[in-house]
Amino acid sequence: MEYDVKKILKEKGLDPIEGLLSLAFSEEIEPSVRRQALKDILDRVSPTLKAVEHVGDKKLDSDLQELKDKMDKLEALYKKDY
């Protein structure tokens, strides 16, 4: 069975962010719980970006080098003729 959590929360008038905010700023709540609530809010507002490794495309690199070599040859022929 699937639940539409957003719909259920809306029908009940509940806002999870408000709940986390009330936890985060309540003096009666343990500091570690308050810190986790703030972290959860931050994750919602500003998600952590994942590291992405860029690896060069060897085929593209070799194709570009081949084109450069051909351009150099054409340039040399052009200079030779003019």
Which has more confidence, 49 or 14? Answer: 14
pLDDT cut 70: percent of the chain above it: 94
**Structural domain boundaries of the chain?**
5-47+56-81
pLDDT at 63 over 80: yes
Give the separation between CA 28 and CA 12, rounded to whole angstroms: 25
- Where does the pLDDT of residue 82 fall: very low under 50, low under 70, confident under 90, or very high at 90 and above? low
Task: Write down the pLDDT at residue 79.
Answer: 74
In contact, 23 and 38? CB cutoff 8 Å: no
* pTM score, whole prediction: 0.49
In contact, 41 and 19? CB cutoff 8 Å: no
Average pLDDT over residues 49-76: 81
**What secondary structure letter does DSSP report for 47?**
P
